[in-house]
A and B are shown apart, each in its own frame.
Chain A
Amino acid sequence: MLITVKFHTALKRYCPQNDGMLQFQYIEGLTVKKLLEQLNLNNGAVGLVLVNGKIASREIQLMRGDYVEIFPIFGGG
């Protein structure tokens, strides 16, 4: 089962695919933090991460078939 990542708004520029969607093979022990590192997104650009629609901490272990959404950091608009 694949893991799907959806890059929202300003984060789309970090996605290799134009549509902001990326699928890849599940890896044992993958956390949100490790996922962001793999995507070169441990640069402070990400604010919120949802896994299957729920707010996820960086330490959460990902499972097969998870749907991960990442949103840019925001504050003081």
Chain B
Amino acid sequence: MAYGFTGKILLVDLTKSEILVEMPSEEFYRQYLGGPGIGLYYLLKNNKRYIDPLGPENTLVFAPGLLTGTSAPSAPRYTVLAKSPLTGALGKSEAGGWWGPELKRAGFDAVVVRGRAPRPVYLWIKDGEAEIRDASHFWGLQTGEVQEGIRRELGDERVQVAQIGPAGEKLVRFANICNNLAHFNGRNGLGAVMGSKNLRAIAVRGTKAVEVKDRSVVKEVLRWVTEQVNIHPLSAALYEHGTPIGITSNNAGGCLPTNNWDYGYFARAEDIGSEELIKNYLIRRGNCFACPIRCKRVVEVKDKDITVDSKYGGPEYEALAALGSNCGISNLKLIIKANELCNRYGLDTISLGMTISFAMKCYEEGIIDKTQTDGLDLRFGNEEVLLPLIEKIANREGLGNVLADGSRAAAARFGKRSEKYLLEVKGQEVPMHDPRVKSGLGLQFALAVNGADHWFAQHDPFFTSRESLGVQAASTIGLGEPVDANDLSFKKVRHVLYTSYLNGVYDMLGVCVFGYVARSLTPLDKLLNLVEAVTGWKTSWWELLKAGERFLAMAKEYNVRQGLTFSEDRLPEKFFTPLKGGSRDGEPGLDRDKFYEAVRLFYEMAGWEVDTGRPAKAKLYELGLDWLIEI
């Protein structure tokens, strides 16, 4: 009897129109847990070296976490993995919402998609059965229309739909995947991989509860979280303000990305902050499956000039900063509309905002002019250009066709040394967090296997003093000593290493970083209780963190096989220069030498070889990954 997992993996070959089911052993689940552990197993087994990310040979995996689908609190997540068309490295992106739990209830732990359908299709999975269906009539439609259309066609309003939008169909290299129209596997351009396979959506309906060994423990933890959620300062703030709270906090700290990161201070930040959002546009707080925190924003606008449909959710901090301050735009209503438009078309708001701000910077520096911008006046702060640019990118028209390949490709097209204005790692545009005020975040950006990622590890501010919530909560896994936010010694490296394992475990279990320490309330001992109660295994944080380390070693090995080297674990030059504007004006950037020493030390601590970039043979043996050793 399987508890927590269903024991079945769905294998779909779109070229051959073939569907198979694989049933791995319990040992397999104990090694790889779920999410990116299972996903990487199939990527490494299936993928040859140096594959074309938009070719039929790119394996695409959808994998919920081990706890996903049970009533364990804040564990709704699933990971999508494939080779990324934006970075050429591992593509890996998580989403909450409702789709992951539904897949488990439908009887599958993962869907592995290979090949390319000859015409547009969608996959329909219901209670252990799957079929490939025609999607020609959905091709070209926005996400809202397609979700409605699929539900109508299948005659069930409770069908969960993970899908791409028109941007994914057009192979925009930062196209995302959404579920329930408002939850996103946002990063790495995995929507374009679906588009390249002519796979518009995966619709799922499951009616069977996921088996759990000891329901009473799970219920008890859920009860505890529900009681504490409005008391604990972090979860209470997530409910009340959501992630948009970061706008005013970061601005006060002189680290709110403004005008393509030229400044860390935006004079009109309060206009786009969480309080304005709540006052003027928020209609309710949304949630994910079995999560009492409710950190999601649901907004609505019904004005003459702009309307925003609440079914597309609302903006997170990342979208507000990337499309707002980062582009010099302070019109909150317009940013909310831009966010909704991204959700209709299926675009990652971070890469989109950063690619637009890069074009604005090139325009202001005279690298491009109106002959290259379709006549648009791309000054920072010009509200007129935001919505037209999103339409152009989603439809690959004019300048939009250049920007649709991401900022690095745009720099190659613009020439004239425009690359110095780029802010990307491995081709992925950086999220809205400044490494100059937290060095561990810089290590995350540089080392993340999937390009600049702000959840590769935990964030420095939660671990800086004895009172810090992270220090109090994570001492049991060796993180009980405070480390200064700007420290770049071995202590910081160890911190990033351990918490990268921890975040790997979170993804493998399907738990959300906004539900668990250090960013939220649920402590590690309760998470361990949940794993034991759900699976019936007697386990430990030692075993779980080893699984996190295993995931990371597999991801690293995958990247080496796709041609990535140590030299790509780097940061944009901007982060080695002083901050400008606001309360940290003139403070120095990261020390370049110390930073790269720390990157090298991370490799050595992790058991990775600097010259080849791959996990050492002994490390692969230790982690039970001997099948990855090549003679």
Listed by A's residue number, 19 A-B pairs whose Cβ atoms lie within 8 Å are A9-B249, A10-B233, A43-B233, A44-B234, A44-B467, A44-B469, A45-B234, A47-B249, A54-B583, A55-B253, A72-B245, A73-B462, A73-B469, A75-B461, A76-B454, A76-B519, A77-B317, A77-B318, A77-B433
Contact among B250, B438, B513, B583 for A55, CB-based, below 8 A: B583
Asked if B469 and A71 sit within 8 Å, CB to CB, the answer is: no
A53 to B252, CA, bound (A): 8
| CB of B316 within 8 Å of the partner chain | yes
Interface size class of A (residues with CB under 8 A): 20 to 34
| CB of A48 within 8 Å of the partner chain | yes
Tell me the chain A residues, 53-77 only, with Cβ under 8 Å from chain B.
Answer: 53-55, 58, 69, 71-77
**With A10-B236, A45-B233 as given contacts, are A76 and B513 in contact (CB-CB < 8 Å)?**
yes
Asked if B275 and A9 sit within 8 Å, CB to CB, the answer is: yes
Asked if A10 and B472 sit within 8 Å, CB to CB, the answer is: no
| CB of B455 within 8 Å of the partner chain | yes
- For the complex with contacts A9-B248, A44-B462, A76-B519, 10 further pairs of A-B residues with Cβ separation under 8 Å are A9-B241, A44-B467, A45-B233, A55-B253, A55-B583, A71-B248, A74-B461, A76-B433, A76-B458, A77-B318
| CB of B216 within 8 Å of the partner chain | no
Which of chain A's residues have a CB closer than 8 A to the CB of B455?
76
Give the residue name and chain of the B residue nearest to A44 (CB): B469
Asked if A53 and B583 sit within 8 Å, CB to CB, the answer is: yes
A13 to B475, CA, bound (A): 29
Closest beta carbon of chain A to B209's beta carbon, Å: 32
**Inter-chain CB contacts under 8 Å: number:** 91
Contact among A42, A53, A76 for B459, CB-based, below 8 A: A76
- Closest 5 pairs between A and B when the two form their complex, measured CB to CB: A75-B459, A77-B317, A45-B233, A10-B237, A77-B243
**With A10-B233, A48-B252 as given contacts, are A74 and B583 in contact (CB-CB < 8 Å)?**
no
Residues of B within 8 A of A (CB): 233-234, 236-237, 240-241, 243-246, 248-250, 252-254, 273-275, 316-318, 432-433, 438, 441, 454-455, 458-462, 465, 467-469, 472, 513, 519, 583-584
Which of chain A's residues have a CB closer than 8 A to the CB of B583?
50, 53-55
Asked if A72 and B274 sit within 8 Å, CB to CB, the answer is: no
Which of chain A's residues have a CB closer than 8 A to the CB of B245?
9-10, 72, 74, 77
Which of chain B's residues have a CB closer than 8 A to the CB of A13?
236, 240
Which of chain B's residues have a CB closer than 8 A to the CB of A34?
none
A28 to B187, CA, bound (A): 52
Which of chain A's residues have a CB closer than 8 A to the CB of B441?
75
Give the residue name and chain of the B residue nearest to A43 (CB): B233
Which of chain A's residues have a CB closer than 8 A to the CB of B241?
9-10
Which of chain B's residues have a CB closer than 8 A to the CB of A77?
243-246, 316-318, 432-433
Asked if A75 and B236 sit within 8 Å, CB to CB, the answer is: no
Which of chain B's residues have a CB closer than 8 A to the CB of A48?
249, 252-253
Asked if A71 and B249 sit within 8 Å, CB to CB, the answer is: yes
A75 to B318, CA, bound (A): 11
Asked if A9 and B252 sit within 8 Å, CB to CB, the answer is: no
Contact among B252, B465, B468 for A8, CB-based, below 8 A: B252
A71 to B269, CA, bound (A): 14
Contact among B252, B462, B465, B519 for A71, CB-based, below 8 A: B252
Contact among B233, B249, B317 for A44, CB-based, below 8 A: B233
A44 to B521, CA, bound (A): 12
Asked if B433 and A9 sit within 8 Å, CB to CB, the answer is: no
Asked if A71 and B253 sit within 8 Å, CB to CB, the answer is: yes
Closest beta carbon of chain A to B249's beta carbon, Å: 4
Which of chain B's residues have a CB closer than 8 A to the CB of A53?
583
Closest beta carbon of chain A to B382's beta carbon, Å: 26
Contact among B249, B273, B275, B318 for A72, CB-based, below 8 A: B249
Closest beta carbon of chain B to A46's beta carbon, Å: 9
Which of chain B's residues have a CB closer than 8 A to the CB of A55?
253-254, 583-584
Asked if A58 and B465 sit within 8 Å, CB to CB, the answer is: yes
Asked if B513 and A72 sit within 8 Å, CB to CB, the answer is: no
Give the residue name and chain of the B residue nearest to A36 (CB): B467
Asked if B460 and A9 sit within 8 Å, CB to CB, the answer is: no
Asked if A42 and B584 sit within 8 Å, CB to CB, the answer is: no
Closest beta carbon of chain A to B524's beta carbon, Å: 16
Interface centre among A8, A43, A76 (most CB of B within 10 A): A76
Asked if B317 and A69 sit within 8 Å, CB to CB, the answer is: no
Which of chain B's residues have a CB closer than 8 A to the CB of A50?
252, 583
A51 to B20, CA, bound (A): 64
Closest beta carbon of chain A to B627's beta carbon, Å: 34
Closest beta carbon of chain A to B516's beta carbon, Å: 12
Asked if B240 and A10 sit within 8 Å, CB to CB, the answer is: yes
Closest beta carbon of chain A to B591's beta carbon, Å: 20
A55 to B454, CA, bound (A): 24
Interface centre among B275, B462, B513 (most CB of A within 10 A): B462
Which of chain A's residues have a CB closer than 8 A to the CB of B244?
77
Interface centre among A9, A42, A55, A71 (most CB of B within 10 A): A9
A10 to B237, CA, bound (A): 5
Give the residue name and chain of the B residue nearest to A42 (CB): B467
A73 to B518, CA, bound (A): 11
Closest beta carbon of chain A to B518's beta carbon, Å: 9
Asked if B233 and A74 sit within 8 Å, CB to CB, the answer is: no
Closest beta carbon of chain B to A74's beta carbon, Å: 4
A47 to B485, CA, bound (A): 11
A17 to B455, CA, bound (A): 36
Which of chain B's residues have a CB closer than 8 A to the CB of A47?
249, 253, 461
Which of chain B's residues have a CB closer than 8 A to the CB of A10?
233, 236-237, 240-241, 245
Which of chain B's residues have a CB closer than 8 A to the CB of A71?
248-249, 252-253
Which of chain B's residues have a CB closer than 8 A to the CB of A42?
467
Give the residue name and chain of the B residue nearest to A41 (CB): B233
Give the residue name and chain of the A residue nearest to B444 (CB): A76
A50 to B236, CA, bound (A): 23
Asked if B237 and A72 sit within 8 Å, CB to CB, the answer is: yes
A54 to B584, CA, bound (A): 8
Give the residue name and chain of the B residue nearest to A45 (CB): B233
Contact among B240, B254, B462 for A75, CB-based, below 8 A: B462
Asked if A75 and B253 sit within 8 Å, CB to CB, the answer is: no
Closest beta carbon of chain B to A72's beta carbon, Å: 5
Which of chain A's residues have a CB closer than 8 A to the CB of B438?
75
Which of chain A's residues have a CB closer than 8 A to the CB of B275?
9
Asked if B459 and A44 sit within 8 Å, CB to CB, the answer is: no
